[in-house]
Amino acid sequence: MKPCFFGDSYDIVKRTLLEWLRPLGNWAVHPMFTEEVRDEFVSGFSSLIDAPLISVEVLRPSTDRQSYFSSCASHRHVLLDPNTGLKIRRDQSERSPDHLFDSDLVPIMNVRPEGLTMVFDQSLSRGRTVKEQLEEKLAHFRAQGFSGFAYSSHACFLFLARELATAEYAHHLLCGERRLPKERFLHHWD
């Protein structure tokens, strides 16, 4: 989350999704800041999305990522907000603070087996369809025992959980109760 984008339409979508998923329980947001932020920004962002921030630490190329994300363990439902999005199978030499990697995400989900993890994901390549790339990411996590679904739009999100019932309930809240178009969702539990 970069402060220069504070209050953009993506933030409004994030707030709306968190509000609609509130029946699952309380949410917290890890903004994955890549630059220092002022206290006024922190309180403003937290207020705008209506959820507490897990950390205001800056993620740098040299950061111990396991330690950086350890603060997620004490929150049941977590929104991870990287600048760019989720990358699968990162090269060990790649340490981009703009991305969340599967090697970051799996431990976060494993330590919270009853929780739902939502990831804001704009890490989608040109030349391949968004649906194809989201399907690939879902399949990667499904192979590791996670259930989930993706929302495909100009603002894409992945929703992942260890328990199928948690993912299904979240999907029901968004599709069934809030009536987001089913065509925007990808999942494989039917």
pLDDT tens digits, residue range 9-36?
A: 899 999 999 999 999 999 999 999 999 9
pLDDT tens digits, residue range 105-133?
A: 999 999 999 999 999 999 887 778 999 99
Torsions phi, psi of 94, nearest 5? Answer: -85, 125
Count: domains in the chain: 1
CATH number of domain containing 161: 3.40.50
CA proximity to 94, closest of 123, 120, 122? 123
Quick check: 190 pLDDT over 70?
A: no
Distance, in Å, from the CA atom of 85 to the CA atom of 104, rounded to the nearest integer, reads 12
Helices (H) and strands (E) in the chain, counts: 6, 8
pLDDT of 125: 77
What percentage of the chain carries pLDDT values higher than 90? 82
Q: Which domain holds residue 138?
A: 3-187
